[in-house]
Structure 1
Amino acid sequence: MESMMINTWLLLPVLFLSANYLIQCVNGKPQVPCLFIFGDSLSDSGNNNNLPTSSKANYNPYGIDFPIGPTGRFTNGRNSIDIITQLLGFEKFIPPFANINGSDILKGVNYASGGAGIRAETSMTMALHEIGARKYVLVGLGLLGCTPNAIYLHGTNGSCVEEENAPAYIYNAKLKSLVDNFNNKFSLDSKFIFINSTSESDGQSSDGFLVSNAPCCPSRLVGGGCIPDEKPCYNRSDYVFWDDFHPTDAWNQLIAIGSYDDPYTSGYTYPMDIKHLVEQETKMELESINENTSQLSASS
């Protein structure tokens, strides 16, 4: 049993539209036994709360729409990882490393931390592969020049700053190519997919969001975080951005559902979405299944 759990790890090295859809997906057992997340503030669920850093989100108005209030998530409600966790059928959100207790680790750990930078993707992935990780979701960069912070600093009157978007396009193209390389190299025992964050960002104006160039919460000029205890906008589902850098729960829901189930091959996921990644059987999984079947047959 333990070996099968290790072989079916799903990793989201980082870094949604219908409530009924979410309810249908969370009934029953999780689609994967455990989930491990590596990323930055877009995925942080509380790891920064007790760290000596100014990058924190454990105060009001962060978490205004989260059931237990501020937790360290850099948004008004759930981040996209939380929603993907729900879509995968987990009863609880994956806990941050800072709050891990006992058997919690058997369901996974969220190692994401606000302010984390880009590390050597290849060496980290190889290290994870050595200890049993077999299914990976590699998430690209969003359009950095379309954040309220970039728009304000460059004074573009609400338009994206294209010179800041250019590096994201370059990075994502290379990351997509890396996914192809990994899938070719580990075609039998590992599966990799790529989430193209710039693809979804390009469609902000057509996805029903009325405000895509300003934050919902009053934000600091330096750092871009919400000003403590200031009242945010009331129509939060109309906003793409919660603060100067991070999206709202509504936008995170769009991102998460697009990552999990991308039926129209829109270019947002490559070469498949998370739903189909989970369904892929690796060589090690098939060997474990065959071994267990043989043992059951021998004992009967």
Structure 2
Amino acid sequence: MIARVNNVTITTILIILNFIILVHGASKVPCYFIFGDSLLDNGNNNNLNTEAKANYPPYGIDFPNGPTGRFTNGRNMADILGELLGFDNYIPPFASATGREILQGVNYASGSAGIRNETGSHLGNQIFLDLQLQNHHNTILRMVDLVGNRVATNAHLNTCLYIVGIGSNDYINNYLVPKHYSTNSLYTPSQYATLLVQQYAQQLKTLYEDGARKIALFGLSQIGCIPQELQKHNTRKCVDSTNEAIQLFNEKLKSLVTNLNNNFPQAKFTYINMYSISSIMSTYINLNFLNYPCCNVSTTTAEGQCVSGQAPCHLRAAHMFWDNFHPTENGNVIAIMRAYNSFLPSDSYPMDISHLIQSG
């Protein structure tokens, strides 16, 4: 019961009611924010000076609007999760998000981006995680302008789902390409993983300080099994040394989740074990079953990405990989279904996304 009603209290009530009107709907969370790399990017790289873009066919061949900047044939993981959450529309990219739609969420992900600012820079410009966080802060300022009150804005943000899927490029487009980066000669795999997770911890603290309370962190998949690594090492078997380096990062990230939950009891962080989930890739490779990319990939400019305008394979649902790096829509569906509702106990820690969004 409110003991004292004044202008501030009435104003706050009106602001909260305005929020309800603005973001009404049947979604399981009122808002959904996405940070990461090309696995989640839905158009932020389109107008950047970079080779890491996917706004041309055959990308998007199975997406209703055709090529949009999604690095796959259809929906990416962010899209599929948005559907599971009950959103009527796909969350817009920061590059084009306008007006009241930002109250339901924004996608900040950028192809070739990493935890480290220099990651992917040999491909051109990218929106690294620190810059994505700055973009999110700018979005919050726009939300305050729409709503008129930072307190109500924070209350709204506290109820949102945040997903962060980043770190793959810190290996694929940094540590594993000594031609362009010195990290491989400066750090052992263990030292590099420690360095990455330490920086990531500070970035996640920033996200928390900006109102995030339900955060799902996607670990790294079996990068040693992607077609690009197989071709680079001229092998048909997963590259063990790469996967071992990836697991060092994942183990430290899982420990970070424990620490974050202990240090920020008002928030809930969860780890999505993409390494375990992506084990289906190594199964396909061991069976030698359609483990090659569905589209014709470039060997020069934008190496490993689809060649513009060339027809892809017909049996896309049977392929795990669309190009040398990214899953097909079918692969994305498998991954997100297990992230949302764990198929195995190892798929998430301490909970899957369906339980994260229900947590208090």
TM over 0.5: yes
TM alignment of 1:203-222, pairs within 5 A: 203-204=280-281, 211=289, 213-222=291-300
CA gap of 1:241–1:229, structure 2 versus 1, over 3 A, is same
Residue of structure 1 in register with 2:247 after alignment: 169
1:213, CA displacement in angstroms? 2.8
Residue of structure 1 in register with 2:72 after alignment: 75
What is the identity, as a one-letter code, of the residue corresponding to 1:200? Answer: I
Distance 1:112 1:241 in 2: 20
1:54, CA displacement in angstroms? 1.0
Residue of structure 1 in register with 2:324 after alignment: 244
Distance 1:125 1:48 in 2: 23
Residue of structure 1 in register with 2:203 after alignment: 124
What is the identity, as a one-letter code, of the residue corresponding to 1:260? Answer: Y
Task: Specify every segment of 5 or more residues in structure 1 that has no aligned partner in the other structure, as ranges.
Answer: 7-27, 282-300
TM alignment of 1:2-17, pairs within 5 A: none
Higher-RCO chain (CA-CA 8 Å, sequence separation at least 6) = 1
Residue of structure 2 in register with 1:153 after alignment: 232
| Other structure's SS at 1:97 match | coil
| Other structure's SS at 2:292 match | strand
Q: Which has the higher helix share?
A: 2
Distance 2:16 2:243 in 1: 43
1:210, CA displacement in angstroms? 7.4
Q: Is the 8 A contact 2:278 2:335 kept in 1?
A: no
Distance 1:279 1:4 in 2: 22
| Other structure's SS at 1:100 match | coil
Distance 2:68 2:17 in 1: 33
Give me the TM-score of the superposition, normalised by structure 2: 0.68
- Among the aligned pairs, what percent are the same residue? 49
Residue of structure 2 in register with 1:224 after alignment: 304
RMSD: 2.1
Residue of structure 1 in register with 2:88 after alignment: 91
Q: How many residues align?
A: 257
Distance 2:294 2:275 in 1: 21
Higher deviation after alignment, 173-182 or 28-37: 28-37
What is the identity, as a one-letter code, of the residue corresponding to 1:82? Answer: D
| Other structure's SS at 1:213 match | coil
CA gap of 1:191–1:230, structure 2 versus 1, over 3 A, is same
Distance 1:5 1:280 in 2: 25
CA gap of 1:205–1:166, structure 2 versus 1, over 3 A, is closer
What is the identity, as a one-letter code, of the residue corresponding to 1:195? Answer: I
1:203, CA displacement in angstroms? 2.6
What is the identity, as a one-letter code, of the residue corresponding to 1:240? Answer: M
| Other structure's SS at 1:69 match | coil
Deviations, residues 18-56 of structure 1 (Å, cap 9, x unaligned) = xxxxxxxxxx71111111111000100000000111111
CA gap of 1:173–1:163, structure 2 versus 1, over 3 A, is same
Distance 2:290 2:251 in 1: 24
Task: Specify every segment of 5 or more residues in structure 2 that has no aligned partner in the other structure, as ranges.
Answer: 1-12, 20-24, 117-198
Pair 1:201-2:274 in alignment: no
Distance 2:269 2:17 in 1: 19
Aligned with residue 233 of structure 1, among 289, 313, 322 = 313
TM alignment of 1:18-167, pairs within 5 A: 29-119=26-116, 120-156=199-235, 158-167=236-245
Distance 1:214 1:5 in 2: 51
| Other structure's SS at 1:255 match | helix
What is the identity, as a one-letter code, of the residue corresponding to 1:278? Answer: I
| Other structure's SS at 1:109 match | coil
Give me the TM-score of the superposition, normalised by structure 1: 0.81
Deviations, residues 134-169 of structure 1 (Å, cap 9, x unaligned) = 01011111111111111011111x211111111110
Aligned with residue 186 of structure 1, among 264, 276, 281 = 264
Q: Is the 8 A contact 1:159 1:213 kept in 2?
A: no
1:212, CA displacement in angstroms? 5.1
Q: Is the 8 A contact 1:193 1:270 kept in 2?
A: yes
Residue of structure 1 in register with 2:156 after alignment: none
Q: Is the 8 A contact 1:138 1:194 kept in 2?
A: yes
Q: Which has the higher strand share?
A: 1
Distance 1:203 1:56 in 2: 26
| Other structure's SS at 1:193 match | strand
What is the identity, as a one-letter code, of the residue corresponding to 2:206? Answer: A
Residue of structure 1 in register with 2:126 after alignment: none
1:73, CA displacement in angstroms? 0.2
1:204, CA displacement in angstroms? 3.0
